[in-house]
Chain A
Amino acid sequence: MVSDETDVLPLVLPRPSIRERLRTPSGKLFVSVGIVFLVMTVVLLVFSVWWPNATLPATASDTEEAVRLTMLVFAISAAPVMAVVWAVGYFSLRHWGHGGETPPEDGPPIRGNNRVTVAWLVVSSVLTGFLLVWGLSELTSTTTLSTSSSPIVIKVTGQQWLWSFSYPQNGDISSPDLVLPIDKPVVFDVTSTDVIHSFWLPEMGIKVDANPSVTSSITTTPNLLGTFNVRCAELCGLNHSYMETTATVMTAADFDAWVRSQGGTPTTATTTEAGNG
């Protein structure tokens, strides 16, 4: 093939400038597809920033903030890839489409293109690598305790179809709904008495299964005052839909008052002050 070409083209032509190349038919093609691609990328980016903000409830913990950030980063990294594919698809349908009973003339017999293939593989590997590294570092940061102060430990028990919470550090008081002090790391030790449930704090971005005969732990630090949801995220039979309760995040002082009202020994306010001071 090489020798053929040299026969036809004995001269090595100077490489045309970008500007000139863009004016060739295939250059124009790249420009039009490129425009569609840019538009789609922008639409996708706007969508991925706007959608979570518009539809999602508030974030109530550092974990959930990390999760939201991750989803944003993932959406932004995926947007150009999605846009490439869809731009080519849209463009081909619009500009190269033919209907009819008989097929159009065959297209150019392109069986592959090493440069494009390598570029694709490199980009998707780099992207995957980036997402992986991001995910791993986020995993370490969300599973280790975020401040140096000693965490509150709360025992969570699932049973068909209620949650119960007990506070071993506060004199083992127990409660059917969850009460948490703000800005204080919590460790949940989750277990079940019958089937598998899954302890879920949607606004705090944490979830772990409640398994019979096993205790699993998960940690977070609530950082927003208010009342949030506690749900069961694993199908557990008849009333799975109704196995929910509330999580109230209050100030340390309120929390102590609550503990006292339940007949427990408050410990939070002092340690929090120590931590802050």
Chain B
Amino acid sequence: MAEATLVRAETVPSPGGGGIMRRLNMFTGIIVGVIVAVAAYKIGQHFWVENDQGNDQAVIAGEVGWVFGFLIGVGAFVAPVRWMLGRDLTHEDEMFLAGKDQGISRYFRFTTDHKVVGTQYLVLAMTTFGVGGILAMTIRTQLIVPGNSLLGGQAYNAIVGVHGIIMIVSTIIMVVGPWGNFVMPLMIGARDMAFPRINALSFWTLFPAIPIFLSIAAFGGIPTGWVAYAPLSDQAPPGIDAFAVAIILFVISAALASVNIIVTAMTMRARGMTWNRTPIFVVGIVASSLLGLIALPCFEVAMTFTLLDRSMGASFFVPDQGGSQWLYANLFWLMGHPEVYVILIPGLAAVLEMAPVFSRKPLFGARLAVISLIALVVLSILVWAHHMFVSGWAPTLAGPFMLSTELISIPTGVFFLVLIGTIWRGSVWTRLPMLFVYGFLWNFMIGGVTGIFLSDVPADNELHGALFVTAHFHYTLLGGAMIGAMGALVYWFPKMTGRMLNERVGTVAFWTVMIGFNIAFMAMFADGLAGMPRRVANYQPEFALGNFITTIGAYIIGIGMLTFLYAIVSSWRSGKPAGPNPWHAKTLEWFVPSPPPLENFEVLPVVTGDPYGYGEPDTRHTTHAGAPPLVDAVLVPAGPESTSEASS
């Protein structure tokens, strides 16, 4: 009690500065952002004239103004400026930033606690998934019968593109957010991320990108799909400017988050946690972040060029002025392919993490799995041109790229071996997260094998630009990565919220999504094989049956997703309390209370083995309090990596 008052007393603004910082939050950010945006837009309108589609320069100025205004208003620049001035944040400032004793309001500020940031990311991602999902339902409603006039061509194209990019962005938000930010530090036994302020910064640079994404609709939409191919993007309405600004911002945010995640995992693992003893999920998150860090800047360059082409008359992609559409395609896919693996790897790694827990068996071939992850990262940088087989660019390279693409199936196949090896003769505990492991096995196998079809150049000559591709990547993205991620959400939900996810409702949701998904996208394969192109608002009657089935399947997915959402929201509010370790798992996050307290670990854990010693009475992962004692519980005080101002 006395301590509590002491703590609360500390949050009162100290007279010596930092006063402004304490008053900044999301709402001041929005206010300043809007003011600056409007001013910048007006200035833009003053200096540049409108063309027939709109005023690109003014739109860009407005969007950029919004970003800077928001960042100023939310307090993102406080720390850098104070660094320059040499007036570093005091200890009280840092505790304030960590959100100590601020209740719900800490979710609306520049808060540095990794669990707050992880939760912010999670809620943001669920919102954007919802938007993407509603757009998907709109797409399917338009395509339910041929000749439907619900949407015009322009609106349809815009909706498809925004659906694609919003979904892709949301899945990456899931990677850096709940996984990289909430779960990963707990799993390695850290008290926070390496750079808590960069952490907050990465979230608050992403946040203003979302309104910009949505403003695409207000500025005429994008006619280009999520790939934003030039030169089509050069003749598009200013919606594409909003798209480009949002992407650039997103890339900056993701880079900040990735650096933080990588450095945290490299330097802050608990004592004794060698790479061999690190949970596979952590390895996966690092691999995924590293891949994103390397790949995403190419997208940033492509978008910068697009903006300059459109607003400054530059000629990167304008053939008449010496530009080339292939420059765009190369830059885009140099990002685009690695990025699909950025999305896949966390879902995959989560599945690998859950399989041992629910099979009550060690991970089969753990070392091989890590090697394959590394192989995946390396190979996926070398395959981008398989998206350009029919583009006419470098036909002589078709063979080499076919080689590199098909090679990926060897490391990817290894994960299937690891999974069935882990399940083999296990005592499979059929709780909800395990169902998602099975769902992954089913869906991703189909997605992967159809990918091999596409990697064959002559087959791709037939299938490119057809719905077969769309079905392939929904099987990998939704069926593989998303199903894995949803399983992970169920698995770590108790840790995040302290409550169990309602398993009955969750199971219904799982089966609804799985069945709807397989109905929808199997039928889409059929349409694609029969020759229906992608991104068409209308189609010939011969595809009517397939599309009708797909739409019905999609509605079933929608119902399933809503059920899942209901399970999450209702369990978050009033689920059964979980206790620290509901799954009887061995990784470190399960040895702290659920939800974990501000600094996670009262006493830093020490790791003595890998976390998969199921059925091996002589091994254990940690000597942390709460871990089942092997001989007797040893509490290890803060180790050498944590010298202590506190204890001195």
Contact = CB atoms under 8 A, between A and B. Distances in A.
Contacts of B431: 99
B274 interface: no
B267 interface: no
B157 A235 contact: yes
B607 interface: no
B456 interface: yes
Contacts of B453: 71, 74
B414 A196 contact: no
A103 B429 contact: yes
Interface string A166-199: 0000000000000000000000001000111010
A86 B364 CA distance: 17
A16 B553 CA distance: 52
B390 A106 contact: no
Interface in A66-87: 66-67, 70-71, 74, 78, 81-82, 84-86
Given A55-B526, A116-B417, A241 B392 contact: no
Contact of B456 (A52, A70, A216): A70
Contact of B229 (A100, A196, A242): A196
A209 interface: yes
Interface in A133-150: 134-136, 138-139, 142-143
Chain A CB within 10 Å, residue with most, of B231, B326, B584: B231
Interface string A82-103: 1011101100110011111011
A104 B402 contact: no
A68 to B, nearest CB: 9
A92 B421 CA distance: 11
B319 A213 contact: yes
Contacts of A206: 461-462
Interface stretch (A3-11, A120-128, A263-271): A120-128
Nearest to B430: A97
Interface stretch (B98-106, B126-134, B610-618): B610-618
A49 to B, nearest CB: 14
A240 interface: yes
Given A110-B362, A120-B417, A198-B465, A97 B392 contact: no
A202 B462 contact: yes
Interface string B351-386: 000000011111111111000000000000000000
Nearest to B441: A89
Nearest to B402: A135
Given A128-B406, A212-B325, A110 B421 contact: yes
A194 B325 CA distance: 11
A108 B425 contact: yes
Interface string B578-619: 000001100000000000000000000000000011111000
Contact of A106 (B416, B427, B538): B427
A104 B430 CA distance: 10
B320 to A, nearest CB: 7
Contact of A131 (B232, B406, B583): B406
B325 to A, nearest CB: 6
Interface in B381-422: 390-392, 395, 398-399, 402-403, 406-407, 409-410, 413-414, 416-417, 419-421
B459 interface: yes
A29 interface: yes
Contacts of B459: 67, 70-71, 74, 135
Nearest to A213: B319
A159 interface: no
B534 interface: yes
Nearest to A112: B365
Interface in B427-482: 427-431, 438, 441-442, 445-446, 449, 452-453, 455-459, 461-462, 464-466
Given A85-B416, A200-B533, A194 B231 contact: yes
Contacts of B425: 29, 96, 107-108, 110
Contacts of A113: 364, 421
Contacts of B217: none
Interface residues of B, number: 92
B421 A112 contact: yes
B620 interface: no
B368 A202 contact: no
B458 A63 contact: yes
Contact of A238 (B153, B361, B367, B417): B153
Given A131-B406, A196-B231, A232 B533 contact: yes
B458 A128 contact: no
A250 interface: no
A246 to B, nearest CB: 11
A222 to B, nearest CB: 15
B426 A107 contact: yes
Contact of A107 (B224, B360, B458): B360
B410 A125 contact: yes
Given A85-B445, A209-B390, A233 B464 contact: yes
Nearest to B445: A82
A64 B539 CA distance: 22
Nearest to A99: B430
B449 A82 contact: yes
A86 B224 CA distance: 38
A208 interface: yes
B535 interface: yes
B441 A128 contact: no
A251 to B, nearest CB: 25
Chain B CB within 10 Å, residue with most, of A84, A85, A242: A85
Interface in B311-338: 319-320, 325-326
B249 interface: no
Contacts of B366: 111-112
B31 interface: no
For the complex of A and B, 8 pairs with smallest distance between CB atoms: A233-B465, A202-B531, A216-B392, A213-B319, A106-B615, A109-B615, A241-B536, A104-B427
28 contacts: A67-B459, A85-B419, A89-B441, A92-B423, A97-B428, A99-B431, A102-B584, A106-B615, A107-B359, A109-B614, A120-B413, A135-B456, A138-B456, A138-B458, A139-B399, A202-B462, A209-B392, A211-B391, A211-B392, A229-B531, A233-B465, A235-B224, A235-B229, A237-B223, A237-B235, A238-B157, A240-B153, A240-B536
Given A121-B410, A207-B462, A213-B319, 4 more contacts: A81-B413, A89-B420, A109-B614, A209-B390
Interface of B: 153-154, 156-157, 223-225, 229, 231-232, 235, 319-320, 325-326, 358-368, 390-392, 395, 398-399, 402-403, 406-407, 409-410, 413-414, 416-417, 419-421, 423-431, 438, 441-442, 445-446, 449, 452-453, 455-459, 461-462, 464-466, 526, 529-531, 533-540, 542, 583-584, 612-616
